[in-house]
Amino acid sequence: MATARSISARLRQATTDRDACRNRIRLLSLSFALPAVICCPAWAATWEIVPTVRVSETYTDNVSLTPDAAKQADWVTQLVPGISLTATGRRLRLNASYTPQLIYYARSNGADQVYQRLTATANAELAERLLFIDAGATVDQYNVSLQAPVTTSNVNTTGNRSTAHTFFVSPSLLRDLGSAVRVEARYTSSVWTSDSTASLSNSVANRIHLRLANGPAYKLLTWELAYSRELIDYENVVQPDTDSEVATARARYLITPSVGLLGRLGYEDYHYRIVGPGAEGSAWGAGLEWTPTPRTSLTALAGRRFYGDTYSLDFRHRTRLTAWSVGYSEEITTSRSLFFVPASTSTSDYLNTLLLSRFPDPAVRKTAVEDFIARTGLPADLSSPVNFYTTQLFLLKRWQASLGLLGVRNALIGAVFKDTRESLPGTLPVTAAAGDFAVTDTVLQTGTSLVWNHQFSERVERHGSIQPPRVSQHRPNRQAGHRRGQPYSTIQTARVGLSRLSSAGE
């Protein structure tokens, strides 16, 4: 009994110490961010504040996405007031958008909700060409698990969505040593919290990144040496902390003005503190870079890492009216990290590429993109993989392809992806992994999106967004004797709308 009490007391003390540490890091992060805003020449920036409000009515025949025998129809009213803040200056850039979502249900008593939603990023140059700082914060809702009904909207009352908060601050030193060498040192502190912590605990992470690369004096041969280490401290003592360390050396040699040879060497180490042997080993790769025109580029790499053969591909091509891309990548990552760098096909990025020929000036092009999205009501992003909650380190393999077409009266943006996540073997006990990896070692997701807009006249446009089924598959552990590749969940949504636009003179 005395031993049990002693262990319990130590666990409570450890939790208290972690809470105190997390609060101290938040305070330090804020202390970094505030001087950045105050010290920068904000008086030289152009500030813009835009209030917005949006009201929509949705009818659904299955508001909770339950089986047909238990489904319930409902009318859902959404009120979304918002305010956006933009500052653009020589040494300061700030973009913030706050759009709380108020949802009212006609038939589902007690289901009314208010969801907080925030996106904010800031970049400042504290000391000219030397000291910089980046900061950002998000508040949004996400699906917790693929084992429950999955939705892309807060309208559906699935009980499988959680509000997550992210915050990061990242000061960096960047220095050019003449025209031969560039040196960079960056420190990043980040905080992730959620109102659902069973599968992914609240956490604080600290990351250092060191980089030494060639300067503009190098033309035929370019090179880079990089080292990074990240420690993720989870609040829940049952979920062990994560330690990752990566060192890489890269080089490119141009054999012609449009063809270059690529090489990569490195060493990586991923493990959990206290438990598990970890996964580590050397890495190497070789490839080719081909840029026949400023509109076309291809980068392909093949090699080997500690888990086996590895590949990467990046192909991009654009014409006056179209933009195409195909890519494949592999990386060791965590669900937590993907919340800070979400996987999505940005509508604004695609329009930015499509409008490059028409508007060479970046500022004018940015305004044209924002105006086009506002007029047509296109979504900010296309369909993307569900980032389910887990503390497990996993190997992410992703195929994705997208296209964009911008004509006189038509705009078309489409994307397709295949996302495979494989838990690293031998790094974490199943009981500690939690989340979807507690019942499977491999998760497969596939999806497609298509957005089309047609302008009938200068005043009336028709636009729609169609997302064919996205299928998520769990591949259970072979040790459990299950069959692999069983379908797990399917999502199907379709939206078509008609809007009337007003001219400035009406």
Look up residue 108 and give its DSSP letter.
Answer: S
Question: Tokens representing 53?
Answer: 């409000």
Mean per-residue pLDDT of the chain = 80
Question: Tokens representing 403?
Answer: 């296209």
Q: Which of 5-19, 35-49, 163-177, 186-200 has the lowest mean pLDDT?
A: 5-19
Place of tokens 């004096």: 217
Which residues are registered as beta bridge partners of 397?
Answer: 330, 420
pLDDT above 60 for 6: no
Structural domain including 162 reads: 10-196
Q: Which of 61-65, 264-268, 415-419, 464-468 has the lowest mean pLDDT?
A: 464-468
Alpha-carbon gap, residue 192 to 403, rounded angstroms? 33
Pick the residue with more confidence: 215 or 32?
A: 215
Q: Tell me, what's the pLDDT at 392? A: 87
Assigned domain for 366 exists: no
Phi, psi of 484 (to 5 degrees): -85, 155
* Candidate ranges 36-50, 308-322, 414-428, 464-478; pick with highest mean pLDDT: 308-322
Residue 483 carries which side chain, given as an amino acid letter?
Answer: R
Assigned domain for 322 exists: no
Assigned domain for 20 exists: yes
Assigned domain for 74 exists: yes
Assigned domain for 56 exists: yes
Mean per-residue pLDDT for 281-291?
Answer: 96
Assigned domain for 363 exists: no
Assigned domain for 311 exists: no
For 60-113, the pLDDT digits (tens) are: 999 999 998 899 999 999 999 999 999 988 899 999 999 999 999 999 888 899
Alpha-carbon gap, residue 490 to 476, rounded angstroms? 18
Mean per-residue pLDDT for 416-445?
Answer: 77
Total number of domains in the chain? 1
pLDDT above 90 for 230: yes
* H helical segments located in 216-343: 335-340
Alpha-carbon gap, residue 75 to 71, rounded angstroms? 14
Contact 275, 432 (CB under 8 A): yes
Look up residue 346 and give its DSSP letter.
Answer: B
pLDDT above 90 for 3: no
pLDDT above 60 for 446: yes
Q: How far is CA 147 from CA 138, 152, 391, 397, in A?
A: 25, 15, 16, 21
Q: Tell me, what's the pLDDT at 276? A: 59
Bridging pattern class, strands 322-333 and 394-406: antiparallel
Q: Tell me, what's the pLDDT at 214? A: 94
Assigned domain for 108 exists: yes
pLDDT above 60 for 481: no
For 360-416, the pLDDT digits (tens) are: 787 777 777 777 776 666 666 666 788 899 888 899 999 999 888 887 778 888 888
